[in-house]
Structure 1
Amino acid sequence: MTGSSGKFRPLEGRAAMRARSQDEAIIEVTWCYYQEGMNQNEIAERLSISRATVVNYLSEARRRDYVRISLNSDVFRNQKLARRLVDRFGLQDAIVVPSAPGGSDQSLDRVTRVVADWLPSLLEPGDRLGVAWGETVYRVAEAAPRITIDNLTVVQLVGSRPAALGFAAETCSATLARRYGAHCINLHVPLVLSERDLVERLKREPVIRMQLEAVADCNKTLFACGTCTAESHVVHTGLLDRSEIDVCAAQGATGVICGRLIDQDGKGLNREIEDRMIAVTLEQMRGKVMGLLVGSGEDRAKPMLAAIRGGYATHVATCSQTAAEMLNLA
């Protein structure tokens, strides 16, 4: 059996035709269901296929991003808790989704999905969007629609560090840039180095210097404020071990922004390790045209409050339980 004889080409041709036929069937099923409002049994009868096939085709259409289901973000912006957050903390805007009955992970999924729909309306051509790292930011990037925002630049805010499940900084920024058809500027250095002198030498490298200038030049940011517990992202990525995070918490550490610890008022703790980090500084995170803080969960209320008090956030997205807890703590 050889591929050069040509005798397999008809089979290949039939396989390609079958693939095209299935693609057309998926599109037809999707159109009937979402545009014509037909139910699954009606579609199965019209196309002479089984209802199970209809279900599979609809699932495949969603997987391929043929269909995107979203709710108008204004529904959640106008929610009572959202308006209370804006009024209480002097925010430009906020969005609050109902907490999920299934627990914190489902609530976070709701929040990140609504942020993915909301974020494009907060961006304009020519914006330079700084993107942080971690699970929350990664979920937003993964849920983002495939659209084009003219002349948008997405910038990685922290250097590289191994992270589980693709939550690394370069993955978050590259994924969001790809979804938005944007130019991506990655920060091609480790987040933490062994010596301060090495950090300074790397910063002087022309390419790294240009990338750090892009970090400082962002006019908008997307970030989360992590916790200071044993389950913190900085512990899982090895920036701090469990004993160190406990000591920091005892010293007043309340949240983590781009690897840097802050107290309840949003002020940095200025640990020694930060002199060996290559990442956006806390000062650079303040005073942005837009600082979109995303978070959900009972352990996120205090860190998010600290981020707001520190002047890092102009916009907030969270769930109803977290919003209520933030208001109770304020």
Structure 2
Amino acid sequence: MSDTARPMPRDDAALIEAAWLYYHDGLNQNEIAARLGISRASVVNYLAEARSRGWVRLHLDSDVFRGHRLARALCTAYGLADALVVPDAESSKGDTARVTQAAADWLPRLLAPGDRLGVSWGATVYQMANRVPQTPIPDLTVVQLLGSRPAAFGFAAEACTAVLAQRLSGDCINLHVPLILSSKGLRDALCAEPAVKRQLDALATCNKTVLACGTCDADAHVVQSGILDPAGMEAQRARGAVGVICGRLIDARGQAVECEVEERMIGVSLEQMKGKDMALLVAAGPRRAAPAAAALKGGFATHLVTGTALAETLLESAE
């Protein structure tokens, strides 16, 4: 095969030309149609195809949302270094998409060469990871914060970490152990294995984290994944549990609600999740109000991304 680039198919060449004229030269769709000798409908299709292939990535400056009055109020109320509040969508699903997109756009700007980024688990973190733009961060290490748990959800802990490492061109440290063992003795023995101990030691070196705080509802992820059964979760709620961070329960003040299963769990501790240079909490949807407030009061976040309605609820909870 010669070193000469293979000619681009004619339709792709027109597609790229249309995208260039629209996004770089500022021509409108009618002007592009006239320039290329095609219909306006074809121009619309070309631009949509360019976006779907990832050739065009639109970026809305996160500074716009950081200046929102609710963002400033949240920083004051919870002692945050920064917050980003996006407009609510018409549905909770749309809210989650907007919040995770905003967090994905913001995260690379919160990282620096040499950082060690610890990654939590869950649908919110996974959705955010998949939306992060390709942004190489030199000498970045991305660390899985808790062991693996078989799940059909598509957002296993190792997947969240691997996707982020790929998007940010970082080294990936996965925690190649189960999240829950059958006994404390087996858990302790496995943690003492040199290979596992090295992975666990990496957890303590993370200077930045990205996390979500899960609910303690009957259909919470920790219930669906079998970490706790419905009766066990109900019992923990009766003890005051309102949120879940990396598989560990917290109450409304952000304090640990200890339960037996944690003795058999391999992963970051709640204390190790505190005191970071940057800890980005991603919170979307009305059901996340109590968990998010608990995480903020417990000092697990320095930065927050959320929607307007949840931001207002969080301000009420801070009073």
Deviation for aligned residue 1:44: 2.9
**For 1:229, which of 173, 192, 217 is the aligned residue?**
217
Deviations 1:159-179 (A, max 9, x none): 111234421111111111101
TM-score by length of 1: 0.91
What are structure 2's unaligned runs of at least 5 residues? none
Aligned pair in 2 of structure 1 residues 184, 42: CA closer, same or farther (>3 Å)? same
**For 1:138, which of 126, 136, 148 is the aligned residue?**
126
What letter corresponds to residue 98 of structure 1 in structure 2? Answer: P
Q: How high is the sequence identity, in percent, across the aligned residues? A: 56
**For 1:95, which of 66, 81, 84 is the aligned residue?**
84
Deviations 1:182-233 (A, max 9, x none): 1111111111111111111211222211111111210000000011102211
Report the counterpart of residue 34 of structure 1 in structure 2.
23
**For 1:113, which of 71, 94, 101 is the aligned residue?**
101
Aligned partner of residue 37 in structure 1, secondary structure: coil
What letter corresponds to residue 165 of structure 2 in structure 1? Answer: A
Is 1:260 matched with 2:214?
no
Q: Aligned partners of 2:81 and 2:137: how far apart in 1? A: 22
Q: Aligned partners of 1:146 and 1:63: how far apart in 2? A: 15
Report the counterpart of residue 215 of structure 1 in structure 2.
203
Q: Aligned partners of 1:51 and 1:166: how far apart in 2? A: 39
Report the counterpart of residue 61 of structure 1 in structure 2.
50
The 5 Å alignment of 1:1-330 reads 20-100=9-89, 102-330=90-318
What letter corresponds to residue 320 of structure 1 in structure 2? Answer: T
Runs of 4+ residues deviating >6 angstroms: none
What are structure 1's unaligned runs of at least 5 residues? 1-15
Q: Aligned partners of 1:28 and 1:46: how far apart in 2? A: 10
Q: Aligned partners of 1:46 and 1:211: how far apart in 2? A: 58
Q: Aligned partners of 1:61 and 1:164: how far apart in 2? A: 32
Deviations 1:106-159 (A, max 9, x none): 111111111111111111100000011111101111110111110011111111
Bigger Rg, which one: 1
What letter corresponds to residue 95 of structure 2 in structure 1? Answer: S
Aligned partner of residue 83 in structure 2, secondary structure: strand
Report the counterpart of residue 9 of structure 1 in structure 2.
none
Aligned partner of residue 300 in structure 1, secondary structure: helix
Aligned partner of residue 299 in structure 1, secondary structure: helix
Which stretch shifts more, 275-284 or 28-37?
28-37
Deviation for aligned residue 1:58: 1.9
Q: How many residues matched?
A: 314
